[in-house]
Amino acid sequence: MPADPKLILTLAAIFIPWLGAIAAAVSRRQTRVIGFIASFLAVLASTLLLQTAPARESLDEALMVLFSCLTSGAMLVLPRRDCNSTTVSGMLFLLGSTLLAYSTENLLVLLAAWVLTTIPFLAWLFRAGLWRPRVSLLASSIALAIAIALIAAQGQPMSIGQLKGHAPGGMAAFGLLVLAVIFRKGICPIHAWVPDAAEGGSAVPTALLLNTHFGALLVAKLIVPLFPDTARTFFPVLSYLALATALYVAVRALSENAPRRLIALVALSQSACILAGLESRTSEGVTGALVHWMVVTTSTMGLLGIVRLLEVRFGENLTASRHLGLAQHAPRLAVFFAVFGLALVGLPGTLSFCSQDLLIHGTLQSHPLTGLLLPVATAMNAVSFFRLFTRLFLGKRRTGFTVMADALPRERWILATGVLFVALGGLFPSAIVTLRSAEAETIAAQPVPYSSRSATIGSTTLALRAGTYVAARAEAASATETPTSRAGSEGRTPYSNAPR
Amino acid sequence: MDLWQSLLLFAVLAPGVVFSAISLGWLLGWIPSERFVSRITGVTFSASVLAIAAIVWRLALTGSPSIALRLGNWFAVGRYEFPLVLLADRLSLPFLGLTVVLSGLVGQFSATYLHRDGGFLRFFLLLHLFAFGSLLAFAAGSFDLLAGGWEIVGITSVLLIAFFQQRAAPVENGLRVFAVYRACDIGLLVGVFAMHHWAGTASFAGGLPHLTETQAVIVCLLLLLAAAGKAAQVPFSGWLPRAMEGPTPSSAIFYGAISIHAGAYLLLRVQPILAQSKLASTLVVAIGAVTAIHGAIVGRASADAKTSLAYASLTQVGAVFVEIGMGWRWIAVAHILGHATVRTLQFLRAPSMLHDYHQMRSATGGELSGVGVHWEELLPERLQLGLYRWALDRGHLDTILDRLVVYPLMRLSRFFAKLDAIGWRGVAGRRGETAISLETSARVGGH
């Protein structure tokens, strides 16, 4: 039987980083080179996967490309002080595990990947004495594990594709999945672990962990497709919680002076509304959420990366409580910081302006309050970010030292690439928005239960999405050829944008 | 796309392209010379002036009301579209012409004024970005696009206020202005979303969106909030003197000419909807009248030239608001054009004011006559003192906003911080730092 190229590429994208992690841990030399090569190969494999994926079902592949690009860039931005074998291997391990979570169509594999991404951080957070991140990550994993156990206990298959529209596990499983989202995403009142982790941890790897956005992934991949009716009834509660988080955290950030905490709060506030967008079931809302996901991820990585570069150069006592005047020493870092920050808070000309525009329009029907609350939260976030920018980079020049390096060439090029992504994406958003809108229609469309398929297909053989899943769909389609089941095997119905 | 549409596109895009090219080059290590920057600025704005002049000539010759350029959709999802329409009509063309002419003049003035200044390149980059934002806002064929240009004008304005970044006051004032802008821009954003929600479009290239009376009132009030914030109308006037911290050329073009009139332009654009709503029209007139009086009183007690000029601007913009509220659309446009031109000249001459005074004094042999009539002397002394105190604290507007908005918000934020701090002893907690933020700008910022 010939090997499926998609399967090979998926395996390559996942296992190359893992092998790189082992190599970095063992060799302890040239760790940056190993890390960059491994993550770059993951980028290539993910890109090839994206090119072969149908436009309407390319969300996983797009996320794989995004996350592997971020890791690849992080390898270059990582300061020499942090570039040790532990950090690099941890980042590569996280990359492999995250790509596994993005690509899998099997609940057990998803659970395994979910837990694997937390392992490096749990060990490290335990040493650092940060209990809130530890508890939240553990709680989210436990909630997900129990939910999957409930589904398995009912004798349901473990393939996500087969479970679509079935509401497996009933309300209990739904509630546990929502709980997992709340813990992992940092939804109010469980939000405090996010800034804790950002401040207490190693900046760049923690930024990567926070930018996996597994909470949103769970919503897009499991909750909305598996529980369409339950989600329609009860999910608005989570959406309103997310909006409340956006607002609460935006207010909270106004008085924050620790740069990493402040950035984490602003990012959390800006990303909270992704959930409302995913739940809106409108093409605009879901597209806005997906594009916003990409912008928030890129901007947050850029910001936390620059803060770490400043900490290495200036000392780890950066604060927004007084002016540091660092722009005179590092003007380019100041500009990169400003652009990433303004992109995060929706400056026109950046991609997040489009994504927020779509988010608000899309959620107006399901959550009219969004139209009011999101601009308010965004305005406060913008003020918080601008305050941080002015305090770090403007004001009287610090006299404690005479020389501080601006962005080094490797940092400059990779940060410029990130800036170009958010800026060019904002000027010419059609390409990105159109791609995401195709996926959005798949998510927004109402899945139809197709019980005949679940009876036809076996249980947990579909470990990875590529190849085998497609084959199983074909098998299911041929087993029952009624119009309803055909719509079900497509996993979607024609898109309807009518107000609900 | 015909020639005239191409010219319109060129005029709007040229400053943006120059900004993008130079800033990207700089980010990657290139440092352009002052001569190059000033020459490219001159060429860009001269070409833009010619393009706008050609469009005016074309419209005058053919009697056509407007030139519209539809570039398709910026992005479209489902039934929602973000149309990319540029519109040069009889309302937008005067503003477009004003922007390119004054930007070019200020560019030439600044080439000498900021010669060998450390922020020379930064100033010119921001000037180009500002011109792009303004042109985009004025040439926009939809409120969505207008909002984009509007926000760009806002951010460049703030960055220029904080231009002299070595001192704390300009930076803190910039932050304060940014906060006011963002708060008021909520009105514009929500107004645009409301238009989409109710009328299905926010485009005005083919006529304004159709709204019911109630909807029109809500939209007008939201847009009025945005316009009042941008035009420093009461109760948001407190940011205007703070904005004088920026370099004089930027003060001239922002607060004497373009940015300060952007709010008036927005109201002119929605004037037909505004006319539907008695409540909104009355509010526009009232805000304009109060601002005009406020500006006249406070301006008289201002000790420095730029602040006096800023309040003089405020008075005139208040009057423009009154004209718009009364429905005198074309009088308002003429008023704006005249006022912007004269005020820019005054701002640009402000640094030479003492020199001019000495020259005049020498020319007259030291016998300079009085400088006008002080009608306030006719008022009772107690009222004069009361007004003086009012003027010294600039109408207590900043204090009122601080007490009603900033301090409660900061108290709430600190309360949330205490809630979050339960069980967490972070770096900041161990140092025992106290949170200071917007309040600092409220205290440090004033002149």
- Measured at the CA of A165, the angle between CA A159 and CA A170, to 5 degrees, comes to 90
What SS3 state is found at A106? strand
In a domain, A481, yes or no: yes
Contacts of A199 in chain B (CB under 8 A): 426-427
Torsion of CA A155, A159, A161, A167, to 10 degrees: 40
Strands (E), B45-147: 66-77, 80-89
> Do B19 and B158 belong together in one domain?
no
Is residue B434, in this structure, part of any structural domain at all? no
Kindly state whether residue A459 falls inside one of the protein's structural domains: yes
The whole-number pLDDT of residue A359 equals: 86
Per the domain annotation, does A154 fall within a domain?
A: no
Q: Do B75 and A348 touch (CB under 8 A)?
A: no
Give B203's strand partners: B142
Residue whose pair of structure tokens reads 């922020």 in the numeric block: B119
Q: What are the backbone angles phi and psi of residue B259, rounded to the nearest 5°?
A: -60, -40
Q: CA of B263 to nearest chain A CA: how many angstroms apart?
A: 18
Residue B306 inside a domain? The answer is yes
Task: Mark which residues 421-440 of A lie under 8 Å from B by CB.
Answer: 429-430, 433-434, 437, 440
Q: Give A464's strand partners.
A: A104
**Residues in chain B closer than 8 A to A257 (CB atoms):** 428, 433, 435-437
Chain B CB contacts of A357 below 8 Å = 82, 144
- Band of residue B401 on the pLDDT scale cut at 50, 70, 90: very high
Residue B125 located in a structural domain:
yes
Min Cα–Cα distance to chain A from B17, Å: 12
pLDDT of residue A399: 64
Percentage, residues of chain B above pLDDT 70: 94
CA pair distance A75, A163, nearest whole angstrom? 38
Residue B422 within a domain: no
The confidence score (pLDDT) of residue A487 equals 34
Q: Specify the residue for token string 């991949």.
A: A221
B242 lies in a domain? yes
d(CA B345, CA B350): 9
Query: Does A199 score more than 80 pLDDT?
Result: yes
pLDDT (0 to 100) of residue B424? 62
- Residue found under tokens 């508890």: A135
What pLDDT shows up at residue B86? 95
Q: Which of A88-92, A404-408, A493-497 has the lowest mean pLDDT?
A: A493-497
* Residues on chain B touching A392 (C-beta within 8 angstroms): none
For chain A positions 283-302, those within 8 Å of chain B (CB to CB) are 283-284, 287-288
Confidence bin at A131 (pLDDT 50/70/90): confident
Instruction: Tell me, yes or no, if B33 comes closer than 8 A to chain A by beta carbon.
Output: no
CB atoms under 10 Å from CB of B359, counted, come to 11
Q: Which of A129-133, B22-26, B200-204 has the lowest mean pLDDT?
A: A129-133
Domain count, chain B: 2
Q: How confident is the model at residue B332 (pLDDT cuts 50, 70, 90)?
A: very high
Radius of gyration of chain B (CA): 23
pLDDT for A478 equals 43
A271 within some domain: no
- Chain B CA closest to residue A190: B420
Report the 10 Å Cβ neighbour count for B113. Answer: 16
> Is residue A479 scored above 60 in pLDDT?
no
**Segment A141-164 mean pLDDT:** 89
CB contacts, 8 Å: B414 with chain A: 255
Between CA A322 and CA A341 the distance in angstroms is 19
| Interface test with chain B among A386, A420, A434, A441, by most B beta carbons within 10 Å | A386
Choose the final residue of a domain: B90, B110, B140. B140
Q: What ranges in A280-348 are assigned the alpha helix state H?
A: 283-314, 331-344
DSSP per residue, B404-429: IIIHHHHHHHHHHHHHHHTT---HHH
Question: Which stretch of DSSP H or E encloses residue B56?
Answer: helix B34-62
- Min Cα distance A247 → chain B (Å) is 11
Give yes or no for B444 touching A (CB within 8 A).
no
Chain B: give the shortest CA distance to residue A192, in Å: 6
Cβ atoms of A281 and A223 closer than 8 Å:
no
Question: Is B407 inside a domain boundary?
Answer: no
Residue B294 has pLDDT above 70, yes or no: yes
Residues B149 and B22 in one domain: no
For residue A477, the enclosing domain spans 451-490
In angstroms, the CA B336 to CA B257 distance is 8
pLDDT computed for residue A337 by the predictor = 96
Do B243 and B233 share a domain, yes or no?
A: yes
Q: Exposed, middle or buried, A355 (CB in 10 Å: 0-12/13-18/19+)? A: buried
CB contact under 8 A, B23 and A347: no
pLDDT of A450 > 50? The answer is no
Among B96, B124, B140, which residue terminates a domain?
B140
Does B164 contact chain A (CB < 8 Å)?
no
Given B152, B174, B196, which is nearest A361 (Cβ)?
Answer: B196
Per the CB < 8 Å rule, is B175 touching A386? yes
Tell me if A345 is assigned to some domain.
no
Using the Cβ of B438 and the Cβ atoms of chain A, whether some distance falls under 8 Å is answered with: yes
Query: B135 and B147: one domain?
Result: no
Binning chain A into helix, strand and coil, the percentages to the nearest 5 are 75, 0, 25
Q: Which range scores top for mean pLDDT: A52-61, A262-271, B191-200?
A: A262-271
Q: What does the pLDDT average to over A256-269?
A: 95
Q: Which helix (H) or strand (E) holds A94?
A: helix A85-103
**CB-defined contacts A:B, below 8 A:** 181
List beta partners, residue B77: B80
Mean pLDDT of chain B: 90
What is the H or E stretch that residue B290 is in? helix B278-300
- Cβ-nearest to A252 among B76, B196, B416: B416
Q: What is the mean pLDDT of residues B348-358?
A: 86
Most B CBs within 10 Å: which of A257, A284, A352, as the mutation test of the B interface? A257
CA distance A371 to chain B (A): 6
**Mean predicted confidence (pLDDT) in B107-121:** 93
Per the domain annotation, does B414 fall within a domain? no
B195 in A contact zone (CB under 8 Å): no
Domain housing B44: 1-140
A91, part of any domain: yes
Q: Give the minimum alpha-carbon distance from A343 to chain B in angstroms, rounded to a whole number.
A: 12
Phi first, then psi, for residue B43 (nearest 5°) are -65, -45
Assess whether B121 and B188 both reside in one domain: no
pLDDT at B11 over 90: yes
Residues in chain A closer than 8 A to B175 (CB atoms) = 383, 386-387, 390
Q: What amino acid is encoded at B262 in this protein?
A: A
pLDDT of residue A12: 94
> Is residue B431's pLDDT more than 80?
no
Note whether A371 contacts B179, CB cutoff 8 Å: no
Cα–Cα distance, A163 to A150 (Å, whole number): 13
Given a cut of 60, whether residue B299 has pLDDT beyond it is yes
- One-letter amino acid at B438 equals L
Chain B touched by A394 (CB under 8 Å): yes
Domain final position from A48, A71, A103: A103
Do residues B26 and B149 both lie within one domain? no
pLDDT of residue A465: 40
Residue A109 belongs to a domain: no
Residue A423: pLDDT band with limits 50, 70, 90: confident
Q: Is B101 helix (H, G, I), strand (E, B) or coil?
A: helix
Out of A103, A138, A155, a domain closes at A103
Region A339-356 average pLDDT: 88
Give the list of residues 6+ apart from residue A311 with CB closer than 8 angstroms, or none: A203, A318
B223/A contact by beta carbon, under 8 A = no
Query: Distance (Å) from the C-alpha of residue B44 to the closest C-alpha of chain A?
Result: 21
Whether the CB-CB separation of A35 and A24 falls below 8 Å is answered with: yes
Mean pLDDT of B407-426: 86
**pLDDT tens column, A92-109:** 999 999 999 999 989 999
- Bridge partner residues of B69 (DSSP): B86
DSSP letters along B306-350, please?
HHHHHHHHHHHHHHHHHHHHHT-HHHHHHHHHHHHHHHHHHHHHG
Q: How many domains does chain A have?
A: 2
Tell me the mean pLDDT in the region A296-316.
91
Q: Which residues touch A168 (CB under 8 Å, ≥6 apart)?
A: A151, A154, A156, A226
Q: What residues of B are in contact with residue A324 (Cβ under 8 Å)?
A: none
In this structure, the answer to whether residues B195 and B87 fall within a common structural domain is no
Domain-located, residue A455: yes
Q: What percent of chain A has pLDDT over 90?
A: 44
- Whether A320 contacts chain B with CB within 8 A: yes
Cβ atoms of residues A283 and A437 within 8 Å: yes
Say yes or no for a CB contact (<8 Å) between A440 and B77. yes
pLDDT in tens, B194-241: 898 888 888 888 888 888 989 999 999 999 999 999 999 999 999 999
Q: Which of B6-15, B106-115, B373-382 has the lowest mean pLDDT?
A: B373-382
Q: Which is more confidently placed, A366 or A132? A: A132
Can you tell me the distance from the alpha carbon of B25 to that of A10, in angstroms, rounded to the nearest whole number? 38
CB B336: neighbour CB atoms within 10 A?
A: 25
Is A466 a residue whose pLDDT tops 60? no
For testing the chain B interface, which of A269, A383, A384, A495 should be mutated: the one with the most B CBs within 10 Å? Answer: A383
The pLDDT value recorded for residue A240 is 85
Q: What is the DSSP letter of A186?
A: T
Nearest residue of chain A to residue B222 (CA atoms): A372
A221-230, A366-375, A482-491: which has the highest mean pLDDT? A221-230
pTM, two decimals, is: 0.87
Where does the pLDDT of residue A75 fall: very low under 50, low under 70, confident under 90, or very high at 90 and above? very high
pLDDT in tens, B40-84: 999 999 999 999 999 999 999 998 889 999 988 888 887 788 888
In chain A, residues with a C-beta closer than 8 Å to the C-beta of B226 are: none
Q: Flag if A360 and B193 touch (Cβ within 8 Å).
A: yes
3-state secondary structure of B432: coil
- Residue finishing a domain among A47, A78, A103: A103
**Residue with the larger pLDDT of the pair B131 and A50:** B131
B13 vs A439, which has greater pLDDT? B13
Chain B interface, best mutation among A255, A263, A430, by max B CB count within 10 A = A255
Q: Which residue of B has its CA nearest to A436?
A: B77
Judging contacts by C-beta atoms under 8 Å, the chain A residues touching residue B158 are 386
